[in-house]
Every structure is written in structure tokens, then in C-alpha cells.
Amino acid sequence: MHDSSPASAPAAPVLYEEKLRPSPWIWLIAVMISSLSILVFVPIGVEIGLIAAVVVFAIIALLLTVSTPKIVVTESTVQVGRAGIEREHVGLVTGYRGDDATHQRGPALHGLAFMCLRGWIDPVVRIQIEDLRDRTPYWLTSTRNPERLAEVLGGTMAREAGTEDRPGAPA
């Protein structure tokens, strides 16, 4: 895994780009949590409670927005969140949905894998890393469009490829 800064951003045309933004239900939870802060401050004053709710929501919204990772694939590089690598070091790429995705995030997960996972996005793509200087065996990233990301990287979906890493998984 190679860290890359904005100064080393690729100038090549972007083949795939996705921001892993929070789902609407995450924003609903943020509103609910901020609304609960009203209860804490109501004994002091209703206005203070409302101000606290707005401030809490603003903080949650800022944190969710700032921590939103991006996936960018060009002809020469792959960037997933804070990690970037040259495409020449990308091996087998497989997309997963449903139970297969859950299995990849759980029992099949390698301890040295780089993960860019978001709980509100179920599908994942596994990107094998073939750089001998890098101990990271693969990247596992959430994506709302695993079929497209896998296709752009020359891979397939698990069911198509027959590469499930789960014994007894239906083909």
C-alpha cells in the first residue's frame, strides 16, 4: 500500500470514481442523535437545547463529510481512501454482494488486508495486491457498484468468476 498525497494525484483520465457517502438512514440517525441532545439541555432552557441539537448535528455532519473516502481508478493508478497503488501491482479483482460480501468482511478477512469499509454500504470489492514490496495481500473496499468497479479493474463478480472463498457457497 502506498500513501499518496493530493500533490501526487493522477493526471490521467478517470475511468471510475465514487465517493462512499453516508446513506440517507445514517443522516436520519444523525438527526435523531442530535435531537436527543435537546433532552440533556431542556432543564437549562429550551433555546439552549435547540442550539445544542443544531451544534451536535453540525459536528456529526462535518465528521461524516470529512471522513468520506473516495475511490478513483485511472489507466495507471488505483486510489481507495488514503491508499494508492499503480495498476501494474493490481492482481485478481473480485466483487461481492449479499452473504458473499458479509463473508469477505468477516471470516474470510485477512489480518493484513487494507480495508476501506463503510457499514452503510453492503457490497465490497477485493483487489489483490501483487507488489512484492508490500505485505498487504489485498484491499477490501465498500462500493455501491461492485460490478462496474470490478469491470474497470479487469475483474468479475464472485458468482461469475467462481472464486468464492467460502466452502459450500452456492455457485
DSSP assignment letter at 12: S
Name the CATH topology of 2-18+68-161. PH-domain like (2.30.29)
CA-to-CA distance for 136 and 102, rounded, in angstroms? Answer: 20
Q: Kindly list the strands in the beta sheet with 83-86, ordered across the sheet, starting from the edge strand earlier in the chain.
A: 2-3, 83-86, 77-80, 70-74, 14-19
Going from N- to C-terminal start, the domains of the chain cover: 2-18+68-161, 24-66
In tens digits, the chain (171 residues) has pLDDT values of 555 445 555 468 999 999 999 999 999 999 999 999 988 898 999 999 999 999 999 999 999 999 999 999 999 999 999 999 999 999 999 999 999 999 999 999 999 999 999 999 999 999 999 999 999 999 999 999 999 999 999 999 997 544 444 444 444
Give, in degrees to the nearest 5, the angle at Cα 129 between 80 and 144.
Answer: 35
Closest CA to 141 of 45, 39, 44, 70: 70
pLDDT at 2: 55
